[in-house]
Structure 1
Amino acid sequence: MAVQSSPLHVYLLAGVKTTTCAFNACKEKLETQLRSEGVDPVIRVLFPYGDCSRSVIRQVLEVRSDLSNRMKAGRIGGRNVWEQLKDSMKDEEGRFLLIGHSGGGAAAYQAAKMLEENGMIRDFRVVQVGSPRTPIHPRLQDKVSYFHSIDRDGKQNDPITRIGTWGGWIRKGRSVPRWSRFKYAPGYVEGIPVIGGHADYFRNSEPFVDTEAVCNLDKTIGRVGAWLKGWL
């Protein structure tokens, strides 16, 4: 398959207390998979809340600002990413993919929303991996996917993915309003049988390899790639 002339701009967004090398294997795997699909990726790693050298308490408080859709919310991580990207995106054409782990997923959505509202990007997708639940604007729900860890019984087992809410009141006609837990959910939500915990979605070596010799990284990037396939 011929590689497309217009590159795909990919941004990997880290969460709280992340080391600077945490995305190395993910970046390599993602680049290989995208090129196999005939896509020419330009991949960059961003730290919306700083790296592991910053205070974890300060970083957690900043993540909380990105979990709200209130007009006056601080959205610190999202704004940090927006500030880093807004100037360069004026000169970049093509498609944009933001993949965020943990709090980075909240920052990825908030940054994409601000960029879209300012007319800086039109063709984009956001992937949230092991992230807190951030309310997604209905206009953007089909552009956002969400992946979380599940146990052998298919139950959600990453505590970070229980933080936040997608809920909201809905009403049809003259019926009594009722609460929907998924009113502001991403357009696509899927559980992945990850070995380990919240920090292990992108692990690619023992003990993060299952009995069929599939590592967490392959599972995560494989499912992300499947969701993106129609868009790529």
Structure 2
Amino acid sequence: MSSGGAAKGEVSLYLLAGLATAPLFMEGFRVALHGQLAREGYDVTASELLFPYGTWSRNVLPQIWEIGRDMQRGPRRSARSIGGRRTLAAIGESRLRRGHDAASGGGRTIFIGHSGGGVAAVHAAMHLLEHDDSGLSPIVVMIGSPRCRIPEQLRPSVLYVYATNAGAPASGGKITDAICKLGTFGGWGGGIGRSGESVMKAGRSFLPGWNHNKYGPDGACGVPIIGWHPDYFREQAPYVNGMGLTNKWLTLHAVWEWLRGKI
């Protein structure tokens, strides 16, 4: 908990929804995280829920196609991301409505993306990192997202959250969210073994091999929620464990424990 006092700095908080999402699906989580940031002394200059691929009122087939295309974009092609560009456009429009320059910042930018929204968040964050001269890297949290290749410069600022079986430790447990098994963080790299480590021996390396985490996030955390992909933010029965903790609380706790060390 915060001890009060002067604001620690400005932050802009954007939650990005995924495929065919209900308009208020992530709203409770946004309010909770906004409140946590404010209690810790941060000046939250923006706090919004965005839909880079549309809500459930839009035809689902174009949404699936767009997310699939964005998942396949390599680090050098993130500027062409459909969801990423829509996210940046929405942020620009929001800043104009608040009377700010569309290109101006609001301190550290935090993206929280669920499902396909996590892919759009990576691409939008990379654009900001390349074009913002503030020196503050955007922060990205991917929750229940398909895997996509994350540019090297952004990897230290990305957390990947996935559902595990209830009772599993945060560092382990079987992934119970099938969406988290889609896509890849992998890439070809010289001298890489099956576990991703370097395999230099006697000054020589093996032939280039597949590194399953070459473009993966530096941070990853399993959350032992009840349910799977659509259930990270549930806060009512039956999504309450034996200790009385809701899925939303477990997800928020995991995100905040990592986030507080990055801002």
TM-score (norm 1): 0.93
Describe how 1:130-149 pairs up with structure 2 within 5 A.
130-149=144-163
Change (3 A) 1:137 1:72: closer
**Structure 1 counterpart of 2:42, one-letter code:** V
Mapped contact 1:166–1:185 kept (Cα < 8 A): yes
Partner of 2:40: 37
Change (3 A) 1:155 1:5: closer
Deviates more, 1:138-147 or 1:76-85: 76-85
Distance in 1 between the 2:232 and 2:15 partners? 13
Partner of 1:113: 126
Larger Cα-atom Rg: 2
Partner of 1:99: 112
**Structure 2 counterpart of 1:53, one-letter code:** S
Distance in 2 between the 1:72 and 1:93 partners? 26
Q: Deviation at 1:36?
A: 2.5
Distance in 2 between the 1:72 and 1:137 partners? 10
Change (3 A) 1:3 1:30: farther
1:52 to 52, 56, 70: 56
Q: Deviation at 1:210?
A: 0.3
Distance in 2 between the 1:229 and 1:45 partners? 21
**Structure 1 counterpart of 2:86, one-letter code:** N
Residues paired across the two proteins, number: 232
Please list the CA deviations of residues 111-157 of structure 1 after superposition, one character each: whole Å capped at 9, or x if unmatched. 11122222366422011000000111111100111000011451001
Q: Is residue 201 of structure 2 the alignment partner of residue 188 of structure 1?
A: no
**Structure 2 counterpart of 1:157, one-letter code:** T
Change (3 A) 1:216 1:121: farther
Mapped contact 2:8–2:41 kept (Cα < 8 A): no
**Structure 2 counterpart of 1:140, one-letter code:** L
Change (3 A) 1:72 1:168: closer
Q: Cα RMSD (Å) of the superposition?
A: 1.9
Segments of structure 2 that go 5 or more residues without pairing to the other structure are: 96-101, 192-203
2:11 to 2, 5, 8: 8
Q: Is residue 102 of structure 2 the alignment partner of residue 68 of structure 1?
A: no
**Paired residue secondary structure (2:49):** strand
Deviates more, 1:82-91 or 1:102-111: 82-91
TM-score (norm 2): 0.82
Partner of 2:21: 18
Distance in 2 between the 1:167 and 1:115 partners? 24
Mapped contact 1:86–1:115 kept (Cα < 8 A): no
Please list the CA deviations of residues 1-33 of structure 1 after superposition, one character each: whole Å capped at 9, or x if unmatched. 225164210000000111111122112211222
Segments of structure 1 that go 5 or more residues without pairing to the other structure are: none
Q: Deviation at 1:177?
A: 1.4
Mapped contact 1:16–1:52 kept (Cα < 8 A): yes
2:252 to 215, 221, 225: 221
Please list the CA deviations of residues 77-123 of structure 1 after superposition, one character each: whole Å capped at 9, or x if unmatched. 11111222247352333111000000000001111112222236642
Distance in 1 between the 2:157 and 2:245 partners? 28
1:161 to 175, 180, 195: 180
Partner of 1:81: 87
Deviates more, 1:56-65 or 1:112-121: 112-121
